[in-house]
């Protein structure tokens, strides 16, 4: 936030992304989205730091909020590399799983919080497997929709 306050968007994004996605975040973005994609991320990070960080800091999710989750099945997808490195995404999973005992955790090897860019096929397969095991039922007809 200090870098953001000093109007150093590149430094602010770099600092945040290192904690959440590891040291190779820029290479991952540029490999998937090109240099233009990285530059766009830097420009658009202003909104994130100005608005979303404050909202996230105010947001609470504890036992009371978790008890209101009505889904019988919950999927938490985490990049296994983030777990290995102890990145913030793993900490979120560790806090969420006791609150949502119905949750299944799918680990995507060789990826971290940027798994949508690092291994989108594995992410899609994890979601598809979960959806096949837990189809949504149409409450009127009792059929999968």
Give pLDDT tens digits for 101-119: 999 999 999 899 999 999 9
**Any residues with CB less than 8 A from the CB of 12 and at least 6 apart, and which?**
1, 3, 4, 45, 49
**1-43 pLDDT tens trace:** 554 554 578 888 998 898 888 899 999 999 999 999 999 999 9
- Residue whose token pair is 């978790």: 66
Query: What is the Cα 10 distance to its own chain's centre?
Result: 21
pLDDT, tens digit, for every residue of 46-96? 888 888 878 877 888 899 999 998 888 999 999 998 888 877 778 888 889
Q: Which residues, in sequence order, are CB contacts of 114 under 8 Å at separation 6+?
A: 21, 25, 28, 29, 79
Considering only residues 63 and 137, tell me which one the structure prediction assigns the higher pLDDT.
63
Cα 64 off chain centre by: 22
């Amino acid at each position: 936030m200090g870098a953001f306050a000093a109007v150093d968007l590149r430094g602010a994004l770099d600092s945040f992304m290192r904690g959440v996605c590891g040291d190779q975040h820029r290479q991952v973005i540029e490999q998937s989205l090109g240099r233009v994609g990285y530059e766009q991320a830097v420009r658009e990070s202003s909104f994130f730091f100005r608005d979303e960080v404050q909202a996230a800091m105010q947001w609470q999710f504890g036992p009371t909020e978790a008890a209101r989750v009505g889904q019988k099945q919950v999927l938490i997808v985490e990049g296994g590399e983030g777990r290995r490195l102890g990145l913030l995404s793993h900490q979120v999973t560790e806090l969420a799983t006791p609150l949502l005992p119905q949750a299944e955790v799918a680990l995507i090897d060789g990826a971290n919080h940027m798994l949508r860019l690092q291994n989108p096929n594995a992410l899609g397969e994890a979601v598809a497997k979960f959806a096949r095991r837990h189809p949504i039922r149409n409450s009127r007809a009792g059929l999968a929709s």
